[in-house]
Amino acid sequence: MLDATSSYKPTGSRSSPYETGQSIVPETTRRADRLPGNRYGNRPTMKDVAARAGVGLKTVSRVVNGEPGVTPDTERRVQEAIEALGFRRNDSARVLRKGRTASIGLVLEDLADPFYGPLSRAVEEVARAHGALLINGSSAEDPDREQELALALCARRVDGLVVIPAGDDHRYLEPEIRAGVATVFVDRPAGRIDADVVLSDNYGGARDGVAHLIAHGHRRIGFIGDMPRIHTAAERLRGYRAAMRDAGITVEERWMSLGATNPERVRRAAQEMLSGPDPVTAVFTGNNRVTVTVIRVLAEQTRRVALVGFDDIELADLLQPGVTVVAQDAAALGRTAAERLFRQLDGTLLVPERIELPTRLVTRGSGELPPAD
């Protein structure tokens, strides 16, 4: 069955992105030899099946797609040819002809962040329910990389795009959207274009969380958040300010620290506001990564410092004290966004909308500690 001249390279793959050089491995041990000899290593096509079954191309297409109008006998012959040849329909070719690719793209920040796991799973579930595949990639919080990825997905002609923005200018997507690519932004709003957006109530959640600390007697409350150019960070800071203002508390500059969420920076920021003559008695942390680091810093303190964090974290209930958080529903964010995407696709959606999902305050102990002084 094997053709000695068969090559593992599909015809014309010389410029494949993967090729790094010539192999010097003896031909006899190469995986290449596993390839069937038909057509220089290529797979059988409908044409091959048609030839073998002695029928026309269209008849094979009918059988493969389960269309009616084929006699049982013809169908059997085609099926046999399919089996014998190991034919599998090339959906890329199919899709080129049909117009839609039944795939959607997801551009997120970092797959390894526990917040995005449930979100992407939810997007995937909805895609699956609509018969679509998910192509995804991470921007690593880099606006250029976000754009590069989103446009690469558009070039693959995904039917729609779910984007967790890293950048704040998405005008580069305008031609794509006009050309029919359904687009929904999640977690953070789109920048400078009019598009569907699904967000958590970052402002209200932070405000409630901080108000909770105030209700337990705190006045000197710190805020440690992500870089201010990130929308969620700015909104949560705004919520913090609002709660403080509502309580008649004048916020001091040194109580607030926005910046990268790497442990070193967060640790320094926390230590600064916890030292000096009038240290904060409570901290509000702006996201899960910040919360985790601050928990570590607080564990080293002799004083008891209250803490409320934005985003829930695993095992938060088992720490001493349990960690009080403002929880977002990451799965609901993903699900809502994906469902909206498919409603755009089936044409039932009209004008871009901004959807805000509520947050939930989960009290576990750390947010109910009284001020230490």
Strand (E) or helix (H) holding 107: strand 103-108
Which of 71, 92, 250, 302 is the binder for a copy of itself (CB under 8 A)?
92
Cα separation, 88 vs 218, in Å, equals: 66
State which residue, 178 or 373, has the beta carbon closest to a copy of itself: 178
Which of 20, 71, 250, 302 is the binder for a copy of itself (CB under 8 A)?
20
Which of 68, 73, 97, 250 is the binder for a copy of itself (CB under 8 A)?
97
120 binds DNA (CB under 7 A): no
State which residue, 61 or 136, has the beta carbon closest to DNA: 61
Q: Which of residues 284-303 bind a copy of itself (CB under 8 A)?
A: 292, 295-296, 299
- CB burial class (10 A; 0-12, 13-18, 19+) of residue 74? middle
Q: Which of residues 5-34 bind DNA (CB under 7 A)?
A: 11-12, 15
Contact in structure between 301 and 278 (CB atoms under 8 Å): no
- What is the β-pairing status of strands 324-327 and 360-362? antiparallel
- x-or-dash pattern for a copy of itself, window 306-345, by CB under 8 A? -------xxx--xxx----------x----------x-xx
Q: Cβ–Cβ contacts within 10 Å for residue 228, how many? A: 12
Distances (CA, A) of 37 to 1, 7, 53, 78: 7, 9, 19, 21
Burial letters for 11-37: b for 16+ Cβ neighbours within 10 Å, e otherwise?
A: eeeeeeeeeeeeeeeeeeeeebeebee
- x-or-dash pattern for a copy of itself, window 150-189, by CB under 8 A? -xxxxxxx-x---------------xxxxxx---------
Q: What token pair was written down for 155?
A: 């070039």
State which residue, 43 or 254, has the beta carbon closest to DNA: 43
Contact in structure between 283 and 272 (CB atoms under 8 Å): no
State which residue, 151 or 327, has the beta carbon closest to DNA: 151
Q: Which of residues 154-173 bind DNA (CB under 7 A)?
A: none
In the complex, the residues that contact DNA under the rule CB under 7 A are 11-12, 15, 39, 42-43, 45-47, 55-59, 61-62, 64-65, 68-71, 73-75, 87, 89-90, 93-94, 96-98
